[in-house]
Structure 1
């Protein structure tokens, strides 16, 4: 039952945002009482925490699969961006902002994941790209890795990019290609242009 509650809650959060969904909504969606939910979770924040943690764990597994399947750092970053594009279709942009503003425990898990996994993965990609002559040798790896992370998050912020959810993909596509083109050497551009992928 605990896993079923988490699955339904996650679906509601992604579709409608976190703040607008109540414990009553989750119970109604499952056809159970709130008492049953409280047998497994202390409160809504506990559910949000577990949903975010589980989602990040699944994302990490998916990203590792993309890393293993890529032939070079350029392909890797495009493959990961395609995965992000697939995820973005189902995301309510307000979810991340809701978690950031109202659920500190879940947000702390997200920040830890961001620093310890996402940032490290991007830095590794940038180092290998420089070593293989695909990325410019003069890039500041720390600065560019943080720029990429923040630009993805910024692309979901409706205060910065107001509009419909459909526009999220277009914004992320612009941010990705602006970012990666700024990294590439002539050799890197040659590799980049070989990939006719529908990436972010």
Structure 2
């Protein structure tokens, strides 16, 4: 029961952070937004930073589960690859421009957690999808799989770079769309493009 309550609280915290940013609300305002008493809050979290870290961990696990649900709906690696990025595009669309920057500079534990997730889970998932796509002749056979995977990961870091793309001029989601989707399209063979043409049309 307590675990379910905490999970719901972490889910709600993610929605609050996505809407208002991470640091716009004080601890007391955050408790009010989450409809939780101080005694309950401090019984679950040391402070606001601990909430941010735990909310990040919860959200990363949620995304992993949603990736598995996506994979159950698509049987080919190129469709799964595009679905992962479409999912990421939708996730970015929910987040205010400064939220990621606030986490990076003011909540380093949460930021490092996200970076470890991308390095360990994200890289391996993309590499396996690309490798399978090449084997099934949906992606070009002449690509360097490790290098292409690294480029895709570095492109994500580029999307998150506020100096390159200030949030008051660009949305994270649109930068991600312009960077990743066209690059993935260029990796596809003719048969791969036929598989995902309808998906591209919806993006």
> TM-score, length-normalised on structure 1?
0.85
Partner residue of 2:110? 106
Question: Is the 1:17–1:92 Cα contact (8 Å) retained in structure 2?
Answer: yes
Partner residue of 1:123? 127
Distance 1:3 1:165, change over 3 A: farther
Q: Deviations over 1:33-74 (max 9, x none)?
A: 434311221111110111000000010000011122212122
Task: Give me the whole-angstrom Cα distance separating, in 2, the residues matched to 1:26 and 1:187.
Answer: 50
Distance 1:45 1:140, change over 3 A: same
Task: Give me the whole-angstrom Cα distance separating, in 2, the residues matched to 1:73 and 1:30.
Answer: 39
Task: Give me the whole-angstrom Cα distance separating, in 1, the residues matched to 2:135 and 2:66.
Answer: 25
Question: Is the 1:93–1:158 Cα contact (8 Å) retained in structure 2?
Answer: no
Partner residue of 1:70? 74
Task: Give me the whole-angstrom Cα distance separating, in 1, the residues matched to 2:64 and 2:175.
Answer: 23
Question: Is the 1:151–1:175 Cα contact (8 Å) retained in structure 2?
Answer: yes
- 1:108 Cα deviation after fit: 2.5
What pairs up with 1:128-143 in 2 under 5 angstroms?
A: 128-143=132-147
> TM-score, length-normalised on structure 2?
0.84
Which 4+ residue blocks in structure 1 deviate beyond 4 angstroms? Answer: 163-166
Q: Does 1:37 align with 2:41?
A: yes
Aligned residues: 199
Partner residue of 1:9? 13
Q: Does 1:181 align with 2:185?
A: yes
Task: Give me the whole-angstrom Cα distance separating, in 2, the residues matched to 1:3 and 1:68.
Answer: 24
Question: Is the 1:8–1:26 Cα contact (8 Å) retained in structure 2?
Answer: no
Secondary structure of the residue that 1:112 maps to in structure 2? helix
Greater displacement, 37-46 / 177-186? 177-186
Distance 1:197 1:99, change over 3 A: same
Question: Is the 1:88–1:168 Cα contact (8 Å) retained in structure 2?
Answer: yes
Task: Give me the whole-angstrom Cα distance separating, in 2, the residues matched to 1:194 and 1:2.
Answer: 40
Task: Give me the whole-angstrom Cα distance separating, in 2, the residues matched to 1:100 and 1:153.
Answer: 12
Task: Give me the whole-angstrom Cα distance separating, in 2, the residues matched to 1:100 and 1:146.
Answer: 21
Task: Give me the whole-angstrom Cα distance separating, in 2, the residues matched to 1:106 and 1:195.
Answer: 33
Structure with the bigger percentage of helix: 2
Secondary structure of the residue that 1:193 maps to in structure 2? helix
Task: Give me the whole-angstrom Cα distance separating, in 2, the residues matched to 1:166 and 1:73.
Answer: 30
Q: Does 1:190 align with 2:197?
A: no
Partner residue of 2:173? 169
